[in-house]
Amino acid sequence: MRSPFAYMPRPGLLQEASPGPAVAYLGSLVAVAFLFSNPLVLIAVGTATVLAGSLAGAGTAVRAGLRMGLMLGALIVVVNALVVSRGETVLARLGEWPLLGRVDVTAESLAAGAVIGLRAAVVMVAFAVYSACVDPDRVLRALRPIAGRSALTAALISRLAPVAAADAARIRDAGGLRGPGAAPVGRGALARRVLAGSLDRAVDVAATLELRGYGLDAPRPERARSRSRHDARFLVIGVVVLAAAVIARALGVGGFDAYPTVELDLDAATVALSALIVVAGLAPLRRGPGRIRRSPRAATAASLEEAAGA
């Protein structure tokens, strides 16, 4: 069972781009999500990430990221409404709670929690697109001359996190097939089994890396991989989006205040910034009905999927 966040070679502009421009493009969208709290801007960033992932062929990762992000966002809204009692518009007075004291649910706390949850969902979708579309091996090769150990750690995390998610799904499915008389598998037991399996796998990976000499200085590659002709597109779009967001933030565009009352900017400048961000999500769109050239890894993956389907 393959995790929806696992990288798979696909014919697409975002997959063909070098790691630097691809990270700059997706990172600019994440940076905008942290620079602004305006819901319109956050929705624009979410729309851009969904468009980028869908056009790159990572629709499964986008849907999984959206599902997890919305669940996390709903939890954040509930927690913020119970913990924060600021705001002038009281919707419900729930009395005294242990550890929390007096709990008053206000419209402003709900709005603030919704903004935080929306930001978390947007960032989760962006990282889902990154995990599914950016080759971790190429990231490792690009970062190894700068910080070899950190690059190796990041590459292993990007590889092993989807594996742990797949392990959890397999254990959950196996628990459901034990029959109606068996005790249900709780979240605690599932987490312990996934953690135990991850620790065993970590020991095996460490031993394998030691045997392959990853602790030694690696020889310099004879020639670097040629850059993609789509690098300039993603790099320019990422720089333009980030620069526009920084300038807009400095000029006070896209303001949002939740307390003491909700104040939201919906002026022309905010709408224009949101429209620019949505258009940036079309960067992976291939212009023209030209023939799609598949890399050898993509062709191999496609042939394996066709054989499995047959």
82-110 pLDDT per residue, tens: 888 888 888 888 888 887 788 888 999 99
- Structure tokens, 301: 């993956």
- In this prediction, residue 147 carries a pLDDT of 58
Crossing angle of the two packed helices 59-83 and 39-55, in degrees rounded to 10: 160
pLDDT class of 268 with cuts at 50, 70, 90: very high
- Could you tell me which residue, 235 or 299, shows the higher pLDDT? 235
Maximum C-alpha span of the chain = 70
Residue 218 has pLDDT above 70, yes or no: no
Please state the domain extents for the chain.
13-146+230-304
What does the pLDDT look like over 198-214, one tens digit per residue?
888 888 877 877 777 66
User: In 3-state terms, what secondary structure has residue 243?
Assistant: helix
Name residue 104's beta-bridge partners: 93
Q: What is the mean pLDDT of residues 225-237?
A: 80
Report d(CA 310, CA 180) in Å as an integer: 33
State the chain's mean pLDDT as an integer.
81
Q: Is 17 exposed, middle or buried (CB count within 10 Å of its CB: 0-12, 13-18, 19+)?
A: buried
- In this prediction, residue 306 carries a pLDDT of 46
pLDDT class of 222 with cuts at 50, 70, 90: very low
- Could you tell me which residue, 27 or 228, shows the higher pLDDT? 27
Q: What is the mean pLDDT of residues 280-308?
A: 58
The residue with tokens 């990282």 is: 127
The residue with tokens 């022309």 is: 268
Number of Cβ within a 10 Å radius of residue 303:
10
CB 136 within 8 A of CB 57: no
Residue 299 has pLDDT above 70, yes or no: no
- Could you tell me which residue, 97 or 215, shows the higher pLDDT? 97
**Is the pTM for the entire model greater than 0.75?**
no
pLDDT class of 238 with cuts at 50, 70, 90: very high
Q: What is the mean pLDDT of residues 135-145?
A: 73
- In this prediction, residue 220 carries a pLDDT of 54
Q: Which of 153-167, 220-234, 277-291 has the highest mean pLDDT?
A: 277-291
